[in-house]
Structures are given as structure tokens and as C-alpha cells.
Amino acid sequence: MALVPFFSRRKRQASGTTDVYQYKNCPTKLRYQIVQMLDEANDRLPTNYETHDIYPDLVKVMRKELGVPRLSNEYEWKAEFQLWFLNHQVIDDLLDALEAATMLLSFVAKKTHRVAIVDDFVRELNARMLEAGFGFQMEGVQIVQISTQFLHSEVVVPALRLLGDPKYSAADAEFRQAHAEFRAGEYEDCIHDCGNALESVLKVILNEKGWAFDANDTASKLIAAAFTNGLIPTYMQTEFAGLRTILESGTPTVRNKSGGHGAGTNPRKIPVHIAAFQLHQTAAALQLLIEAAK
């Protein structure tokens, strides 16, 4: 088998910045879930295909990749792999194994016209990793570190770094809570806490600057007070007129429409892409406001 560019060969050193995901520890619960998901996917492969069991090839690939005679003390292919995966401590090796397993599943699934097997496996794998706060996702048959995705690394992480200032502790907690709710699939609560974080940052800025506002003001009123008092320099406000409109009709409006009021007798189902958009939009707004306040 030709040398495969697994995750560890493509990995870039982490920047060390604050993040809402962790990259150094694969939780025990998640390991067991992955082992069970992989077993379920393998069992769905057609038994009449000559290589319907991926474990022999998977073990051979990982033995060669790691340069070891055996992965564990078990002598049956599946048991050898599973014992190793549940106990091995080098995260990059585990991610390499996930890529290898997905590649093997994909190869057999395509040959037997059962691609839905791989689609289902990848979809559940990504959901489980997200829920566990494990900062990786499978895209196709390759693992991608979330912090290398442009919006996350260039918008969310810098916002979190700015929120690390103690005076923004309330907003920091609210924004992190929004991320936790996103991972848990609680999208309405996620949107609501994005709005809370924006309001908290605005109140800190207005209070620090000595600009008048009411504690019960809505986000749009807080934004209006910030702009009226020159948060953005007067000579630049023409250029930033559109920005104020975006701030006033962006995060607050999405929250009011989707997560700010009771659902009543008609429960809402917030799509994941709306919640993701709100997280990124809020991160950009927080970064802008805090930097402008400086």
C-alpha cells in the first residue's frame, strides 16, 4: 500500500489560542461510541463481497503506520484494533486510524453500491465529535481540525481571545455557553445566548465610556447609543452606515425571530445552519465592538 498522507502528516502546529474545542484528549465515552459506530458500519457491508470485513486491512495499515508488530495483545483482528483504539494515548494516531477506517469503508461501499453506509457513519461520527467538544470533523475521508477552518480560526478564536479580558467575563461565559448549546443541538438556546453575549459586551463598553443607557435597553438601543457617542469616529460613520444596520438587524433580529421569545403552542425547529451563522455573525460583531472600544 502506498504511503497515505494521514492527518498527522498534514497537521499544523496549534496556535495555542483560547478555543471552545479541545484537541489533545479523546474522551473515553467518545472512543467507545466510535468503536461501536465503526462496528455497526462494518456489519452493514455486504457479506458476499470478498473484503466485506475491513478490520484485517485496517489493522495491517495501522501496524505499518506505527511500525509495530501488533497493535494490542488481542489475536483477533477486530479485538486487536478495538483494544488499541480504546487505550492508545496519541491523538494523531487515533485520527489516522479513523481516516484509514473511513477510506476502507468507502472503498468497499462504492464497489458494492452501498455508499449510504459511509454517509451514515460520517454523519454520526461528526455529530458525536461535535457533541463531545472534540475539535475535529470528517470531511469526505479526511479529518479536518476545526481550528483550521477559516471562519473559526479568523473570527471565533480572536473573539474568544478578546473576551478573555476579565471585564468581559459575563459575555465570555454567555458566548461559550452558546457554543456548548450548539454542540448539544440546542439551537434556539444557542441563538438566545449569542444575543446575550452581544448585549453584555455593549453594556461593558457603554459603562466604561460613561455613555448613558438603561439596563433594560434592547440590543438595538445599546448599539444606537454606542454609535451616537462615537464608538466609530464621526469621519468614518458614512462608510460604516451599513455596518450599523447589520449590527442592529443581525444578531438581535435572528434572536428575536428564533430564540428570544416563547414558542407557545407551535414549537420551533431551528436549522443547524442558522445557528452556525449566528455564532459566526456574533463573533464578528463582538470582535468589531471590542476592538473599536479600544
The residue extents of the domains of the chain are 7-145, 150-293
Give me 279's grid cell: 455564532
Of how many residues is the chain composed?
Answer: 294
Using alpha carbons, select from 278, 104, 131, 97 the residue that is nearest to residue 193: 278
CATH of domain 150-293: 1.20.120
In this structure, the number of other CB atoms found within 10 A of the CB of residue 55 comes to 19
- 142 strand-pairing partners: 139
In the 8-state DSSP scheme, what is residue 260? S
pLDDT over 70 percentage in the chain = 79
Name the amino acid, one letter, at 147.
Answer: S
Using alpha carbons, select from 38, 52, 187, 32 the residue that is nearest to residue 120: 38
CA atoms within 13 A of residue 180's CA, in its CB half-sphere = 7
The model's pLDDT over 32-65, given as tens digits with 9 standing for 90+, comes to 999 999 999 999 988 765 667 899 999 999 999 9
The model's pLDDT over 222-262, given as tens digits with 9 standing for 90+, comes to 888 888 888 877 776 665 566 556 565 555 555 555 544 44
Run of H or E residues at 151: helix 150-151
In the 8-state DSSP scheme, what is residue 263? -
The model's pLDDT over 116-164, given as tens digits with 9 standing for 90+, comes to 999 999 999 998 998 888 988 887 777 877 765 667 767 787 888 888 8
Contact 259, 191 (CB under 8 A): yes
Could you give the dihedral angle defined by the CA atoms of residues 290, 280, 99 and 91, in that order, rounded to the nearest 10 degrees? 30
In this structure, the number of other CB atoms found within 10 A of the CB of residue 123 comes to 11
Q: How confident is the model at residue 275 (pLDDT cuts 50, 70, 90)?
A: confident
Q: Is this prediction's pTM over 0.85?
A: no
Using alpha carbons, select from 159, 181, 185, 163 the residue that is nearest to residue 173: 163
pLDDT over 90 percentage in the chain = 35
Alpha carbon distances (Å) from 195 to 14, 40, 44, 77, 211: 30, 40, 44, 51, 21
The region that residue 211 occupies, defined by phi over 0 for left and psi between -120 and 50 for alpha, beta otherwise, is: beta
Q: Kindly give, in sequence order, each residue whose CB lies less than 8 Å from that of residue 40, ignoring residues fewer than 6 positions away.
A: 121
Q: How confident is the model at residue 1 (pLDDT cuts 50, 70, 90)?
A: very low
Backbone φ, ψ for residue 118 (5° rounding):
-70, -40
Q: Where are the alpha helices (DSSP H) in 45-114?
A: 55-66, 77-87, 91-111
